[in-house]
A and B are shown apart, each in its own frame.
Chain A
């Protein structure tokens, strides 16, 4: 359950400036609005394949990314829109990619599950569960070899906890002391399988002890809890302390993908988690702390809706890729 074994005490929100906090609110609202519109486009038949909405999990990606430098590396998952937006991705190019347009991040070659922003050190969403884990460690190895002080963050879900690559890379990263933070977004379901059934031992953060590295559980619905824990682990990695696990207890409000019939969980459970809504909690905290005003938040909401709408219009009005692009980019 959320907050269980939370290693963080009360948030150290004073570490963050008003600008940073306002940015976090804007990013979380953008993630939610972007995925709402992506689902609408999918249901309207305007999007192919599928899309995996990040809605409900915004505090995890945003909290972790707030703890990073722009030159730090991130690897993502099939549920990658939130990570891309939080890392500073361009929602126009993202939406265009979702609609398979030439103006998209990948020129329409990748779609929802293959968006990367190499200039922002976002090394890609990944269609393979656990596929980004080794990539993150490889990026951390580059950082170590170059002595750049950069850190890699690897996002993965509770499903990837049971892929063999996680063990191999956790062990390798620990013996090599790589600057990588493994962030498990435990949204309670791997496709339709409950994490409390699929994950033996019940406490994935506890696995870290076997590698001799820290393992921390946080309330993934709480931006401040995620930010605080991530800051400590990222700093530790940056200073040469090596890898760690950060397990964020969170929830996806919608299905595994936009077409998921969601016949495997109860409405009451969804309602219980929605009461912990990460955006409501952050905005309430900032209002009560007099960091932001109602008017400022309302203005942000409005500008986010407009920006996402503009991104949709940009995508819809963009051309599809020409067939002459079919065989390009296979080899460098």
Chain B
């Protein structure tokens, strides 16, 4: 599907947005892999660890760390046992002492085993020590449904991390952003929870070679439109673009925004869009209840209430464990048709 990609709003693009080299078509997984190669070559303090990331897994179950051990050796590309709490905690200690770990938790669902060092150590050391420590670590994981992995391997848990001050939370949807955001995350002096989506790994897109950095905290307006602002995370960006395409025949224009990072959140780009459209849909694969969409709605209602023509809507996953069977899984997740129906209801008042 051809989608017009618009540049981010000009005033939000700092001079530091650097792009270099030619643009090739890569998968999301290849783009992440390229970012790791480039950052490990650039900075000897960067190292990679996780389950099946080096020799055992041949470079990760989705190939994101493929080839790293061959170039950088087993000291800097380290397989770990299945010990999620240790992976996260060792990353914190390494980061606090001058290393820049890029640690992987294979599924975001396993983060439950690693929450102590993430929440009580990584996020808090700097504050508790009065600014005397820094924790420059990236904790990668993949989340999301759509592959029949059922309840313990399909969740989208980004809201857990957004709730904790001291963490940054990144959710790329496009291959170029995956590369540019991962490079920025590795260079960031804070703990960054870098959440990939398992259904996106084999999506292809144009990716600049070399020094392509996407700063954390800058949203991308994927498509402009006059009537409804749709803020989507991960796979819901593409579904929103499909809904937008389908609605053109009805004269309904969607403006699709990918926040790209949730913490820090580029709320001004969202506010500016809502000031124009007067209508908001938030959409993510995470559960509706207490999902990050609620945070976006809250900020919009608080800051640009006077511009709203209708109550904002959440088109998010149902509040149920992700089921296995095809029709059940599909029914639990927000779909293109749900977005179309929500947009119609906002524009035509069909409630």
Chain A residues with Cβ below 8 Å from B134 are 332
Q: Please judge, given known A-B contacts A128-B116, A142-B99, A164-B85, whether A332 and B189 are in contact too, CB under 8 Å.
A: yes
State how many angstroms separate the Cβ of A270 from the closest Cβ of chain B.
Answer: 33
| B186 CB, nearest partner CB in chain A, Å | 14
Q: Interface residues of B, CB < 8 Å — how many?
A: 44
**Distance, CA A165 to CA B131, complexed state (A):** 26
What distance in Å separates the Cβ of A18 from its nearest Cβ neighbour in chain B?
33
- Asked if A110 is at the interface of the complex by the 8 Å CB criterion, the answer is yes
Closest 7 CB pairs of A and B: A138-B93, A134-B89, A106-B130, A135-B93, A168-B86, A332-B189, A329-B131
A106 near B88 with CB under 8 A, answer no
Interface residue range, chain A: 35 or more
Q: Mark B187-228, 1 if CB is under 8 A from A, else 0.
A: 011100000000000000000000000000000000000000
Of A75, A131, A141, the contact of B99 (CB 8 Å cutoff): A141
Point out the residues of chain A lying under 8 angstroms from B75, CB to CB.
144-145
The contact of B133 among A116, A152, A172, by CB within 8 Å, is A116
Beta-carbon contacts under 8 Å, A126-154 to B: 126-128, 131, 133-146, 152
- Across the interface, name the chain B residue whose C-beta is closest to A176: B78
What is the interface of chain A mostly: helix, strand, loop, or mixed? helix
Q: Which residue of B lies closest to A150 (CB)?
A: B97
Q: Does A14 contact B (CB under 8 A)?
A: no
User: Is B347 in contact with chain A by the CB < 8 A criterion?
Assistant: no
B interface residues with partner A (beta carbon < 8 Å): 47, 75-76, 78, 80-81, 83, 85-86, 88-99, 101, 116-117, 120-121, 125-136, 165-166, 168, 188-190
Docked-complex contact B93 and A134, CB < 8 angstroms: yes
Closest to B134 in A: A332
Q: Which of A73, A124, A172 contacts B128 (CB 8 A)?
A: A124
| CB neighbours of A168 from chain B (8 A) | 81, 83, 85-86
| Given known A-B contacts A106-B129, A123-B96, A124-B125, A172 and B120 have beta carbons under 8 A apart | no
16 A-B contacts (beta carbon < 8 Å): A109-B129, A109-B130, A116-B133, A124-B125, A133-B89, A139-B97, A145-B75, A145-B99, A165-B85, A169-B90, A172-B90, A176-B78, A328-B131, A329-B130, A329-B131, A330-B165
Residues in A with CB closer than 8 Å to B86 are: 134, 137, 165, 168-169, 171-172
Chain A neighbourhood of B188, CB < 8 A: 332
Query: Min CB distance, B348 to chain A, in Å?
Result: 43
> Given A164-B85, A171-B81, A332-B190, list of 8 further CB < 8 A pairs?
A124-B125, A128-B116, A128-B121, A131-B120, A138-B92, A138-B93, A169-B89, A172-B81
Do A118 and B133 form a contact, CB below 8 Å, given A123-B93, A165-B86?
Answer: yes
Tell me the chain A residues, 284-309 only, with Cβ under 8 Å from chain B: none
A110: which B residues are within 8 A, CB to CB? 127-130
Give Cα A135–Cα B96 distance, bound, in whole angstroms. Answer: 8
Shortest Cβ distance from residue A8 to the other chain B in the assembled complex, whole angstroms: 29
Closest to A110 in B: B128
Chain B residues with CB under 8 A of A118: 96, 129, 132-133
CB distance from A305 to the nearest CB of B (A): 28
B89 touches A165 (CB 8 A): yes
Instruction: State in angstroms the CA–CA spacing of A168 and B88 once bound together.
Output: 11
Q: Is A114 an interface residue (CB 8 A)?
A: yes
Q: Smallest distance from the beta carbon of B89 to chain A beta carbons, Å?
A: 2
- For the complex formed, measure the closest distance between the CB of A170 and the CB atoms of chain B, giving whole angstroms: 9
Q: Does A214 contact B (CB under 8 A)?
A: no
Taking the closest CB of chain B, its distance from the CB of A142, in whole angstroms, is: 4
Chain B: CB-nearest residue to A93: B130
Would you call A329 and B97 a contact (CB within 8 A)? no
Query: Which A residues lie within 8 Å of B97 (CB)?
Result: 73, 123, 138-139, 142-143
Across the interface, name the chain A residue whose C-beta is closest to B168. A331
**A105, A109, A137, A332 interface centre (most CB from chain B within 10 Å):** A332
For A144, give the chain B residue with the smallest CB separation: B75
Chain A residues with CB under 8 Å of B85's CB are 134, 164-165, 168
For residue A206, CB closer than 8 A to chain B, the reply is no
- 8 Å CB contacts to B: which residues of A91-125? 104-110, 114, 116, 118, 123-124
Give every chain B residue within 8 A of A104 (Cβ-Cβ).
130
Cα–Cα, bound, A104→B188 (Å): 27
Whole-angstrom distance from the CB of A159 to the nearest CB of chain B?
15
C-alpha gap A137/B88 in the complex (Å): 11
B residues in contact with A131, CB < 8 Å: 116-117, 120-121
Of all chain A residues, which has the CB nearest B135? A332
Q: Contacts of B116 on A, CB cut-off 8 Å?
A: 128, 131, 165
Given that A138-B92, A332-B134 are known contacts, is A114 also in contact with B129, CB under 8 Å in the complex? yes
User: Bound complex: CA of A152 vs CA of B88, how far in Å?
Assistant: 18
The reply on A191 being an interface residue by CB < 8 A is: no
Residues from chain B with Cβ under 8 Å of A262 in the complex:
none
Name the residue of chain B whose CB is nearest to the CB of A121: B97
Cβ-defined contact, A135 with B128, below 8 A: no
The reply to whether A135 and B126 form a contact with Cβ atoms under 8 Å apart is no
**Which residues from chain A contact B89 at a C-beta distance below 8 Å?**
133-135, 137-138, 165, 169
A73, A138, A141: which has the most chain B beta carbons within 10 Å? A138
Residue in B81, B96, B98, B130 whose Cβ sees the most chain A Cβ within 10 Å: B130
Q: Is the CB of B165 within 8 A of A142?
A: no
| From B88, B94, B129, B135, contact of A139 by CB (8 A) | B94
Distance in angstroms from B47 CB to nearest chain A CB is 6
**Other-chain contact of A172, B83, B101, B130 (Cβ < 8 Å):** B83
CA distance A116 to B92 in the complex (A): 15
A-chain residues with CB within 8 Å of residue B190 when the two chains form the complex: 331-332
Out of A107, A133, A152, name the residue touching B130 (CB < 8 Å): A107
> Cα distance A202–B158 when bound, in Å?
42
The residues of B that contact A107 with a CB separation of less than 8 Å are 130-131
- CB-nearest residue of chain A relative to B117? A134
Residue in contact with B98 in the complex, picked from A116, A142, A144, CB distance below 8 Å: A142
Residues facing B in A169-203 (CB within 8 A) are 169, 171-172, 175-176
